[in-house]
Amino acid sequence: MKKVILFANPKRDPELRTLRLVQKTAGELGVSCAVGDLPCTLEELIPGAELAVTFGGDGAILRAARALTGTDIPILGINLGHKGFMAELEAGETELVRSVFEGKFTCEERMMADVTVFREGAAIHRDFALNEAVVGGVSRVVGVNVYGDGRRIMGFDGDGVIVSTPTGSTAYSLSAGGPVVEPTAQNLIVTPVCPHMLSARSYVLSPERTVTVELQHLGSRSAYLSVDGGESVPLCDLDRIEVRKSATVTRLVRLTGRSFYEKVSSKLGESL
């Protein structure tokens, strides 16, 4: 390996101590390091890079995945946060990056989703998600209809609805009562948020489906779209939000052999 990108995270890595440890190991192996702080301009960082390293929790990996979309550069996450389902290494395991720099690792592909907002038939906003797309109300309930390939799945008043990838199943969707789905699976998960209807439940759908969320009867109420916890996009009555499997994937470095099941048990509090 000749060049890696180190995405600095001063909030999670005070004085960049963990980053400096990784940088030191890279120097010992003759690996060049390009250091950036997301969000940042990547034109000078990407050329020649064979790996990106993030420091923090899953949020750091989400930001890196968005920045690197279309580059095929794998991401190694070093968890300095709380949960860190996507990160491969914990804070005390930085010595293992030596094996990664020597090319002794595998990559795991994670499905992403394309998200498009339609207003009066025209696409007004496009985005992509590694975790989820959230359609919700601002302070008040909203009415939503949810469709799969144009066929109605459910309709309800509530706080909103989450359309997640398998990677996002352990994030907001889980907190809202959604299922845990193995992250290498290919599915779209639809999870209502605080629905005023007993029959509104999560659905796990085929990756070939196009999920459409349609807002209804907003009136003076406000609604928004948030993708992977990013900036909110204001929505209007009768807006349609379409979510479908993307042709783009995120590649995550795998090294330790820890299973997804072990991570779920340890991160969610069960003792092994």
Catalytic residues: 58
Asked if residues 45 and 5 have their Cβ atoms less than 8 Å apart, the reply is yes
C-alpha to C-alpha distance for 11 and 5, rounded to whole angstroms: 18
The amino acid present at 151, given as its one-letter code, is R
Could you tell me whether strands 32-37 and 160-164 are parallel, antiparallel, or unpaired per DSSP bridges? Answer: unpaired
CB atoms within 10 A of CB 32: 12
Tell me how long the chain is.
Answer: 272
C-alpha to C-alpha distance for 69 and 201, rounded to whole angstroms: 32
The answer for residues whose C-beta is within 8 angstroms of residue 95's C-beta and 6 or more apart is 25
